[in-house]
């Protein structure tokens, strides 16, 4: 690592989800962040999306809390409308020059009332709606924008184009925020590191003229479809034909528009995300239009991510999405009807002509021009596909030291992978700037909490419209009028988006104004949004427990969309219950416990070692537990990464660094056998091979126990010697075994043990691996014949170049379907492989010398055991289950525990490394704090009623309750009582339910509250 | 088992016009007898074979009086597995001709004759990938393909289909080249032009036509044969003097009005080059070499190719490939270049009132898509500019330009003995024409013009007028002095 000056601040260029994640992780672990955004508000592409795969969560809803958190984080400084023009200096000490375009609206004065937009006479295409809706020249990028400040589009503004004219906005702005004289500003900021997260743009299908885009409005891009499906989009989620407003009955998705195409656009790579997003859109569109028929025209279904193949199968079998394996080279308009004619060949090779109402072009991702400019300014190297060049072992490091990347700048990727990289970049920066941690940051300060014990109950209710998510079903006006009549309610307010930043400010103001002391938010789920509103109460000087959320969206508007009256009544019930409960709410203080500032990493493979090393270099002591006697894990079986880096050399370097790092304690031939404690305060017992046990105290833990290769049970494996697994083959090949050396004809069979009943997931690495092996075989001897029998060629992202190279070398790819697996039979020294050719529609017979089975990756057997110890779940396949597939990809729902590598899901080296770094960054947000605040929802013993019967002790799943004897006081006999270890208590309430004496209760769920809530429910 | 059908229903099923079905019945291609109630009867097996031939799924309708169950249980021809030899194709010269194929299906979806004979462009490429050279050479499909390049336009990896098809054609024994294509090549090599018109006859015809023209409306016109030092050397498509000699006059009339300095050589005047179609590079080179000789002998500056897509394409391709030095001596132009030059410089003046009907334009693949790919220059805008100079009522077909469809008779298929396939191929062009609503279609190529005018117009009841571009311009000329 470089010596010299280290500045404890970071500049993150790009306010999309990757940049946001990096910003939050860094700001939470002691570094000051400048978050630079090119547009007027952060959020990136994710805020344009309707719902996200595979969880079908509302995209805006899950990112909104993060936006708000960024917006009000004390250690994040947001700079919008900014572009980087120069980066000088060296790692640890950069000087970055920014050019900030004028906003023409004074951010300090604008109160985002929106009157300016109402009077603005100029309408132009709305880029937030991907061009399908309109916006004014003075506008807000989107309703929940952070910062929530209007901006003027100088190219559209009449007043700016012709000074002295128009100016309506200026006249109506009471705040006096409009400033036509605003000018460009230049900022020079010194930071220790830079993270580039500028994202991507979608391919523009118009110039090629190939897909009729721009000639018929019924041909739209996938991003436009997102806006049509979104309730906050220009049609409020109603899907009709853009050309004539006619209903959409048949809809086609054309894949690979602007991807895997060197002819029409030069984007030879695969954009990785479009298959999955098309499936999701096809499924969701069916929800919008009953009876809608959706067809996806594709060449390879690349659903290689976690949960994606299952989603695909459900889309096919349950939602009835039709999949047609044929790429489409044109869309034609049929006469005057506006219908779209597609011609394709079906699976029997017949040419079919079919008509559709709407055609969606699944447009690919590419690096925009301005990002190429940024790369030039930053002086970093790019790949042939114009993405940032990184190493597979350092996937977020650019060619210039101290400059890092995350998200789509380093290759097309989906949201989870972008979030992983956001955290990974944070880890890499924290490693570089560790000596300067906490030097430039400030600690959050909340106003002193108001003592409400003497106050009469004053309830404030905030009803969220959630755009039209709620207000489109529930009659919010009627609801507001009704809830105003409930006892003790002194104020009711409605919010378009109660989670937006301006709403928080307004809630705070109203709390002060009306001296509210109980708050009900009637909106969505507390699971995603309660932390946000609790924070808001704290800022307003109220105890965070005085909040209750009524979920009138997920539990109501979403599920009763076809019954608005019923939904309105149910909303009344839900709010009434919340009011009844919050009335008896009491203040309660979160308990702070000191953090053991040490990490535990389980698993000494590439992921585990990377995480351990990063934590150590960030300055934390780490215990690394490895089951075997060697470090390296599965990577020891791989020769090259897809990018061509020699794995063993890199792993050897990594092992060296780990071994020689003073802060890492390695426990070989050891396993975790017992766990006690909680976030910040774990005690893990490890047992070595010879039975010795040690207890390790640690504040956070990372599970990186890896995976293993499946053992095939088909294709005559085990009975024909020439049929081997890919792992075996690599060994034989490396040893120059004579059968391999002399063999003339090789057949690779893909998906052996993957993507079938019982194992409906993709092992992700095998396509690339087989292609690489095939290339090597062919390069060694061009006279060899190599065949790869595959189901979908999943050389995603920039790996596509390998697939192309393989074809050019003459390797023959044959596509088989699950119902027509190849037949492998032995015949003397040769092996006969019979497979149906997907192009000629006839069986082929290949006399092979060797058959190589690309075997699946399975989770380790002991995964479930470790899961039980740390109370972290595994999924149906046995891989660890993260807290949220989209936005918390390395966190467990059990706080303080994280996951990385194959234990989470099959993945290649660079994704394991990124995930390991991400887990490390997330762990560091805990380890960097001297203490952690625990949840306030805890069991409390009421000494008056507890008689020490100890029934609760037996049922507590967290072993948080103990019995103790109270010494005799004032002549009374000594008394047996229970005590709760609040740190261990999860607030589950089983004790409360078990106690026959009402001697124990959970904060926020007292008997009084629950009874009041039930009575309120029945009162309707 | 018999299969009953109505002509209309049958036509719809195959995507062709009812005329075409009647023609098939009359010519015996479709063996059917007329039955009661305007219905026809054919053997079900014949119907099934016809479906096979055109790559259609047999479609059963209650009116067909065919028992669906028997069909479903009819034995499917179980093809024995093809033993993959592992030998490399000698036809595919480069990975970009076949090996790079993604098998994505784009080409097969677009090709108007996908499914014919159970083949399509993707299958052709696949056969090359698997080294099935003999089967490729033996197949007639490559001779039914018009080499229009529609497949190449959209192919994401840029497979060189046309080059592959041409190589396959070239590998066939010359005696087995279908139709008169190879005979035309031999004739041209032996006698100087594809149709074997003797020198004296040609010179006489030209002089005679010249005399006629001077009597009609070009006073003082004389056909300039073998004029040394003329600016423009004009080549001719041999079909014109052979079949429609009158049409030569249109072109000459324009020269007359433009005051052009031009000449026709008395020998080797044919612009046609069927070596392009038969895959015969030697012949192609010889024919172009003769044109180069003429240019040098007569010391002309500009070589004008006839209004014929393949003639231009083949000649320019050959000049680039075999006579690059000659291109430094003279310039090669198309009729578009020259006509636009005349119009824009005011050398000819055109009257837009002579053609008031709606006019559309058919993009010849050779002038358009294929030129764009081979030379980086296509003629899409130029012909439209010229037509707009002659008419106020122009409309495009959809799609057009680089995405346009072949007429169905390119690549020498006008002359090949596969008329049903050619008409079937043309169904898309016919639909495009009728959807455009145009009453006149301007066609800048002899093959395309014959297909559209003589075949599609009748087969698909298009009721259109068809003109060459030069014909339109000649007909729109404002007489001098008016």
Which residues on adjacent β-strands are paired with residue A195?
A12, A404
Q: Which of residues 542-571 of A touch B (CB under 8 A)?
A: none
Nearest to A263 among B156, B399, B401 (CB): B156
The Cα of A344 is separated from the nearest Cα of chain B by a number of Å equal to: 4
Predicted pLDDT of residue B275: 94
Interface test with A, best of B54, B102, B127, B429 (most A CBs within 10 A): B102
Contact A351 B120 (CB under 8 A): yes
Contact A327 B106 (CB under 8 A): yes
Nearest to A345 among B108, B157, B401 (CB): B108
Asked whether the predicted pLDDT for residue B77 surpasses 70, the reply is no
> What's the token pair of residue A330?
């044109």
Predicted pLDDT of residue B481: 42
Task: Write the class of the CATH domain B2-73.
Answer: mainly alpha
pLDDT digits (tens, 9 = 90+) for A300-318: 999 999 999 999 999 999 9
Using the CB atoms, write b or e for A640-678: b if 16+ within 10 Å. bbbbeeebeebbeebbebbeebebbbbbeebbbeebebb
B260: buried, middle or exposed (CB in 10 Å: 19+, 13-18, 0-12)?
A: buried
The Cα of B210 is separated from the nearest Cα of chain A by a number of Å equal to: 46
* Mean pLDDT of all residues in B442-468: 96
Among A11-25, A520-534, A763-777, where is mean pLDDT lowest? A520-534
The Cα of A394 is separated from the nearest Cα of chain B by a number of Å equal to: 32
Nearest to B57 among A344, A350, A785 (CB): A350
Any chain B CB within 8 A of the CB of A264? Answer: yes
Instruction: Kindly provide the ipTM of the predicted complex, given to two decimals.
Output: 0.90
Asked whether the predicted pLDDT for residue A215 surpasses 60, the reply is yes
Contact B156 A838 (CB under 8 A): no
pTM to 2 decimal places = 0.90
Mean per-residue pLDDT over chain A, rounded: 94
Asked whether the predicted pLDDT for residue A1 surpasses 50, the reply is no
pLDDT digits (tens, 9 = 90+) for A367-378: 999 999 999 999
- Determine the Cα–Cα distance for residues B138 and A429; give it in Å rounded to an integer: 66
- Determine the Cα–Cα distance for residues A50 and A287; give it in Å rounded to an integer: 13
**Alpha carbon of A866 to those of A429, A680, A686, A691, A913: distances in Å?**
31, 19, 12, 18, 21
* Mean pLDDT of all residues in A909-929: 97
Q: A625, A704 in Cβ contact below 8 A?
A: no
> What's the token pair of residue A187?
């900022």
Any chain A CB within 8 A of the CB of B399? Answer: yes
Query: In the structure, what pLDDT confidence band is assigned to residue B5 with cuts at 50, 70 and 90?
Result: confident
Residues of B in contact with A777 (CB under 8 A): none
> What's the token pair of residue A601?
């990493």
Interface test with A, best of B16, B105, B112, B119 (most A CBs within 10 A): B105
pLDDT digits (tens, 9 = 90+) for A436-463: 999 999 988 889 999 998 999 999 999 9
Query: In the structure, what pLDDT confidence band is assigned to residue A403 with cuts at 50, 70 and 90?
Result: very high
Any chain B CB within 8 A of the CB of A823? Answer: no
Q: Which of residues 137-156 of B touch A (CB under 8 A)?
A: 153-156
Residues of A in contact with B129 (CB under 8 A): 812
Chain A residue nearest residue B434, CA to CA = A335
What are all long-range contacts of B69-74, with beta carbons under 8 Å and residues at least 24 apart?
A: B70/B1, B71/B44
Asked whether the predicted pLDDT for residue A531 surpasses 90, the reply is no
pLDDT digits (tens, 9 = 90+) for A185-212: 999 999 999 999 999 999 999 998 889 9
Pairing verdict, β A1000-1002 and B32-34: unpaired
Any chain A CB within 8 A of the CB of B437? Answer: no
The Cα of A103 is separated from the nearest Cα of chain B by a number of Å equal to: 43
Q: A431, A683 in Cβ contact below 8 A?
A: no
Domain B200-333 CATH (choose: 3.40.50, 1.10.260, 1.10.3470, 3.30.70)? 3.40.50
Residues 6+ apart with CB under 8 A from B404: B362, B363, B365, B368, B369, B397
Nearest to A345 among B56, B120, B399 (CB): B120
Residues of A in contact with B99 (CB under 8 A): 807-810
Q: A677, A631 in Cβ contact below 8 A?
A: no
Which domains, and CATH codes, for chain A?
Answer: 1-100+184-200+367-445 (3.50.50.60), 102-182 (3.30.70), 204-366 (3.50.50.60), 459-583 (3.40.50), 594-708+859-932 (3.50.50.60), 711-855 (3.50.50.60), 939-1002 (3.30.70.3270)
- Per the model's pLDDT, the better-predicted residue between A603 and A588 turns out to be A603
A193 in helix, strand or coil? strand
pLDDT digits (tens, 9 = 90+) for B14-73: 888 888 888 888 888 788 888 877 888 888 888 888 888 787 777 777 777 776 665 554
Residues of A in contact with B108 (CB under 8 A): 326, 344-345, 349, 351
Contact A299 B130 (CB under 8 A): no
DSSP E strand stretches across A368-508 = 403-405, 459-464, 489-495
CATH 1.10.1060.10 assigned to domain B95-172? The reply is yes
Residues of A in contact with B90 (CB under 8 A): none
Which residues on adjacent β-strands are paired with residue B225?
B264
Contact A843 B100 (CB under 8 A): no
Nearest to A785 among B83, B86, B126 (CB): B86
Nearest to A332 among B126, B127, B399 (CB): B399
Predicted pLDDT of residue B480: 56
- Per the model's pLDDT, the better-predicted residue between B360 and A935 turns out to be B360
The Cα of A305 is separated from the nearest Cα of chain B by a number of Å equal to: 22
Chain A residue nearest residue B83, CA to CA = A845
- Determine the Cα–Cα distance for residues A813 and A476; give it in Å rounded to an integer: 58
Nearest to B55 among A261, A332, A351 (CB): A351
Determine phi and psi for A73, rounding to 5 degrees: -70, 130
Predicted pLDDT of residue A184: 97
Contact B109 A808 (CB under 8 A): no
The Cα of B97 is separated from the nearest Cα of chain A by a number of Å equal to: 10
**Alpha carbon of A424 to those of A34, A375, A419: distances in Å?**
18, 20, 8
Any chain B CB within 8 A of the CB of A266? Answer: no
* Mean pLDDT of all residues in A787-798: 98
Q: A112, A149 in Cβ contact below 8 A?
A: yes
The Cα of B49 is separated from the nearest Cα of chain A by a number of Å equal to: 14
Predicted pLDDT of residue A455: 93
Domain B359-476 CATH (choose: 3.40.50, 3.40.190, 1.20.120, 1.10.3470)? 3.40.50
Q: Which of residues 826-845 of A touch B (CB under 8 A)?
A: 834, 837-840, 842-845
Query: In the structure, what pLDDT confidence band is assigned to residue B78 with cuts at 50, 70 and 90?
Result: low
- Determine the Cα–Cα distance for residues A217 and A239; give it in Å rounded to an integer: 13
Q: Which of residues 196-255 of A touch B (CB under 8 A)?
A: 209-210, 212, 215
Q: What's the CA angle centered on A559, arms A554 and A565, to 5 degrees?
A: 110
Query: In the structure, what pLDDT confidence band is assigned to residue A537 with cuts at 50, 70 and 90?
Result: very high
Contact A810 B95 (CB under 8 A): yes
Any chain B CB within 8 A of the CB of A345? Answer: yes
- Positive or negative, the Cα torsion across A801, A802, A803, A805? positive
Domain residues of chain B, as ranges? 2-73, 95-172, 200-333, 359-476
Chain B residue nearest residue A787, CA to CA = B86
Domains B200-333 and B359-476 equal at CATH topology level: yes
* Mean pLDDT of all residues in B164-175: 96
Contact B123 A840 (CB under 8 A): yes
Residues of A in contact with B115 (CB under 8 A): 345, 349-351
* Mean pLDDT of all residues in A79-84: 98
Asked whether the predicted pLDDT for residue B482 surpasses 60, the reply is no
Residues of B in contact with A299 (CB under 8 A): 102-105
Contact B100 A210 (CB under 8 A): no
Contact A807 B99 (CB under 8 A): yes
pLDDT digits (tens, 9 = 90+) for A693-736: 999 999 999 999 999 999 999 999 999 999 999 999 999 999 98
Asked whether the predicted pLDDT for residue A890 surpasses 90, the reply is yes
The Cα of B125 is separated from the nearest Cα of chain A by a number of Å equal to: 10
Query: In the structure, what pLDDT confidence band is assigned to residue B440 with cuts at 50, 70 and 90?
Result: very high
Predicted pLDDT of residue A335: 78
Residues of A in contact with B15 (CB under 8 A): 353
pLDDT digits (tens, 9 = 90+) for A964-1016: 888 877 777 788 899 998 888 889 999 999 999 999 999 999 999 999 999 99
Q: B379, B340 in Cβ contact below 8 A?
A: no
Contact A330 B103 (CB under 8 A): no
What distance separates the 2 farthest-apart alpha carbons in chain A?
100
Any chain A CB within 8 A of the CB of B106? Answer: yes
Rg of chain A in Å (alpha carbons): 30
């Amino acid at each position: 690592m470089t010596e010299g000056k280290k500045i404890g601040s970071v500049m993150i260029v790009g306010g999309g989800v990757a940049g946001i994640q990096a910003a939050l992780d860094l700001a939470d672990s002691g570094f000051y962040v400048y978050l630079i955004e090119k547009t007027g508000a952060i959020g990136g592409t994710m805020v344009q999306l309707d719902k996200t795969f595979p969880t079908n969560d509302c995209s805006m809803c899950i990112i909104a809390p993060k936006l708000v958190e960024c917006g009000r984080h004390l250690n994040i400084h947001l700079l919008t409308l900014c572009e980087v023009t120069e980066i000088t200096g060296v790692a640890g000490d950069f000087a970055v020059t920014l050019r900030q375009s004028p906003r023409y609206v004074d951010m300090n004065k604008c109160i985002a009332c929106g009157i300016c937009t109402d009077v603005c006479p100029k309408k132009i295409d709305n880029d937030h709606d991907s061009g399908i809706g309109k916006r004014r020249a003075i506008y807000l990028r989107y309703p929940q924008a952070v910062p929530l400040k209007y901006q003027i589009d100088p190219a559209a503004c009449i007043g700016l184009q012709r000074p002295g004219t128009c100016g309506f906005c200026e006249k109506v702005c009471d705040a006096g925020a409009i400033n036509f004289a605003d000018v460009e500003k230049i900022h020079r900021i010194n930071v220790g590191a830079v993270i580039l997260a500028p994202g991507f743009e979608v391919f523009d299908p118009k110039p090629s003229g190939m897909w009729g885009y721009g000639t018929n409005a019924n041909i739209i891009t996938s991003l436009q479809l997102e806006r049509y499906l979104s309730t906050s989009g220009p049609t409020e989620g109603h899907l009709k034909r853009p050309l004539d407003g006619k209903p959409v009955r048949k809809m086609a998705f054309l894949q690979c528009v602007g991807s895997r195409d060197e002819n029409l656009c030069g984007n030879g790579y695969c954009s990785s995300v479009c298959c999955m997003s098309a499936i999701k859109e096809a499924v969701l569109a069916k929800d919008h239009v009953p009876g809608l028929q959706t067809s996806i025209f594709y060449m390879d279904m690349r659903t290689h991510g976690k949960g994606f193949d299952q989603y695909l199968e459900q889309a096919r079998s349950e939602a009835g999405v039709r999949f047609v394996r044929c790429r489409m080279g044109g869309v034609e308009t049929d006469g005057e009807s506006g219908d779209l004619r597609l011609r394709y060949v079906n699976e029997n090779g017949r040419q079919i002509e079919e008509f559709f109402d709407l055609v969606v072009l699944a447009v690919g991702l590419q690096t925009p021009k301005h990002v190429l400019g940024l790369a030039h300014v930053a002086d970093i190297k790019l790949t042939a596909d114009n993405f940032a060049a990184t190493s597979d072992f350092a996937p977020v490091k650019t060619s210039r030291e101290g400059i890092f990347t995350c998200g789509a700048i380093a290759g097309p990727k989906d949201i989870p992978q972008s979030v992983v990289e956001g955290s990974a970049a944070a880890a890499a920066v924290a490693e570089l700037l560790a000596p300067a941690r906490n030097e430039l940051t400030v600690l959050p300060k909340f106003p002193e909490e108001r003592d409400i014990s003497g106050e009469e109950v004053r309830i404030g209710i905030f009803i969220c419209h959630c755009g039209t998510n709620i207000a489109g079903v529930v009659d919010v006006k009627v609801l507001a009028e009704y809830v105003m009549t409930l006892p003790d309610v002194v104020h009711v307010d409605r919010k378009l988006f109660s989670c937006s930043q301006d709403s928080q400010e307004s809630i705070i103001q109203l709390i002060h104004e009306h001296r509210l002391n109980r708050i009900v938010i009637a909106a969505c789920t507390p699971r995603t949004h309660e932390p946000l509103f609790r924070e808001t109460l704290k800022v307003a000087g109220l105890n965070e427990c005085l909040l209750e959320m009524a979920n009138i969206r997920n539990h109501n508007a979403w599920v009763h969309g076809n019954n608005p009256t019923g939904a309105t009544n149910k909303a009344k019930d839900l709010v009434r219950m919340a009011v009844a409960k919050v009335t008896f709410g009491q203040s309660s203080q979160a308990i702070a416990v000191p953090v053991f500032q040490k990490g535990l990493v389980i698993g000494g493979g590439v992921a585990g070692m990377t995480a351990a090393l990063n934590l150590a270099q960030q300055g934390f002591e780490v215990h690394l537990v490895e089951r075997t006697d060697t470090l390296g894990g599965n990577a020891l079986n791989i020769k090259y990464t897809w990018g061509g880096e020699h794995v063993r050399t890199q792993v050897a370097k990594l092992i060296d660094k780990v071994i020689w790092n003073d802060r890492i304690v390695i426990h070989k031939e050891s396993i975790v056998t017992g766990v006690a404690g909680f976030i910040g305060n774990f005690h893990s017992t490890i047992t070595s091979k010879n039975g010795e046990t040690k207890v390790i105290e640690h504040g956070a833990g990372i599970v990186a126990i890896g995976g293993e290769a499946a053992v095939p049970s088909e294709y005559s494996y085990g009975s024909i010697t020439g049929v081997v697994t890919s792992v075996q083959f690599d060994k034989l090949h490396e040893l120059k075994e004579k059968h391999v050396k002399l063999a003339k004809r090789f057949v690779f069979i893909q998906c052996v043990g993957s993507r079938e009943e019982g194992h409906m997931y993709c092992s992700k690495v095998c396509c690339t691996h087989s292609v690489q092996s095939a290339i090597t075989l062919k390069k060694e001897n061009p006279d060899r014949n190599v065949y790869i029998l595959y189901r979908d060629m999943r050389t995603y992202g920039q790996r596509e170049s390998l697939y192309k190279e393989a074809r050019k070398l003459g390797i023959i790819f044959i596509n088989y379907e699950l119902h027509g697996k190849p037949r492998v039979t032995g015949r003397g020294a040769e092996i006969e492989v019979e497979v149906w050719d997907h192009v000629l529609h006839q069986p082929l017979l290949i006399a092979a010398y060797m058959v190589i089975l690309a075997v699946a990756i399975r989770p380790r057997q002991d995964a479930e055991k470790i899961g039980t110890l740390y109370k972290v779940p595994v999924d149906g396949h046995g891989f660890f289950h993260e807290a949220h597939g989209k936005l918390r990809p390395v966190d467990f729902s059990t706080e303080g525990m994280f996951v990385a590598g194959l234990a989470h899901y099959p993945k290649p080296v660079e994704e394991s490394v990124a995930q390991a770094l991400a887990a490390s960054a997330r762990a560091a947000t805990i380890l960097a704090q001297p203490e952690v605040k625990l949840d306030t929802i805890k069991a409390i013993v009421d000494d008056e009623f507890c008689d020490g019967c100890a029934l609760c002790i037996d049922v507590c799943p967290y072993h948080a309750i103990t019995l103790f004897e109270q010494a005799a006081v004032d002549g009374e006999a000594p008394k047996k009582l229970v005590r709760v270890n609040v740190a261990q208590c999860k607030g589950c309430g089983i004790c409360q339910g078990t106690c026959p004496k009402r001697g124990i209760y959970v904060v926020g769920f007292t008997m009084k509250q629950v009874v009041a809530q039930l009575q309120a429910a029945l009162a309707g | 088992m018999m299969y009953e059908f109505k002509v209309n229903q049958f036509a719809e099923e195959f995507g062709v016009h009812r005329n075409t079905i009647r023609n098939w019945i009359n010519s015996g291609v479709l063996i059917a007898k007329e039955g009661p109630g305007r219905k026809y009867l054919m053997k079900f097996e014949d119907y099934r074979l016809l479906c096979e031939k055109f790559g259609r799924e047999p479609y059963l309708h209650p009116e067909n009086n065919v028992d669906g169950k028997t069909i479903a249980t009819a034995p499917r021809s179980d093809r024995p597995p093809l033993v993959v030899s592992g030998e490399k194709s000698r036809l595919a010269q480069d990975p970009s001709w076949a090996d790079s194929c993604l098998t994505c299906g784009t080409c097969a979806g677009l090709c108007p004759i996908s499914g014919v004979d159970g083949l399509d462009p993707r299958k052709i490429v696949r056969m090359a990938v698997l080294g099935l050279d003999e089967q490729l050479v033996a197949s007639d499909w490559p001779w039914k393909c018009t080499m229009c390049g529609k497949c190449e336009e959209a192919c994401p990896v840029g497979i060189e289909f046309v080059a592959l098809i041409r190589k396959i054609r070239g590998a066939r024994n010359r005696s087995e080249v279908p139709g008169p294509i190879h005979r035309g090549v031999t004739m041209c090599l032996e006698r100087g032009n594809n149709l074997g018109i003797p020198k004296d006859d040609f010179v006489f015809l030209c002089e005679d036509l010249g005399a006629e023209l001077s009597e009609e409306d070009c006073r003082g016109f004389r056909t300039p044969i073998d004029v040394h030092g003329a600016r423009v050397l004009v080549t001719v498509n041999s079909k014109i003097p052979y079949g429609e000699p009158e049409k030569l006059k249109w072109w000459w009339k324009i020269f007359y009005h433009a005051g052009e300095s031009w000449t026709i050589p008395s020998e080797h005047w044919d612009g046609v080059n069927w070596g392009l179609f038969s895959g015969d590079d030697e012949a192609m080179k010889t024919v172009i070499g003769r044109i180069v000789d003429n240019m040098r002998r007569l010391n002309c500056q500009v070589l004008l190719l006839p209004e014929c897509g393949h003639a231009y394409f083949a000649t320019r391709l050959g000049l680039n490939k075999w006579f690059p030095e000659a291109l430094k001596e003279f310039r090669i132009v198309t009729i578009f270049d020259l006509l636009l030059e005349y119009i824009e410089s005011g050398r000819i003046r055109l009257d837009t009132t002579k053609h008031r009907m709606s006019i559309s334009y058919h993009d010849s693949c050779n002038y358009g898509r294929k030129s764009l790919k081979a030379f980086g220059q296509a003629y899409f805008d130029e012909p439209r500019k010229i037509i707009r100079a002659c008419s106020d009522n122009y409309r495009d077909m959809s799609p057009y330009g680089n995405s346009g469809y072949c007429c169905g008779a390119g690549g020498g298929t006008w002359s090949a003995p596969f008329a049903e396939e050619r008409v079937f191929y043309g169904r898309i062009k016919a639909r495009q024409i009728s959807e455009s609503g145009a009453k006149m279609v301007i066609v800048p190529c002899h093959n395309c013009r014959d297909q559209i005018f003589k075949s599609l117009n009748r087969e698909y009841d298009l009721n259109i007028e068809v003109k060459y571009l030069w014909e339109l311009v000649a007909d729109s000329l404002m007489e001098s002095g008016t």
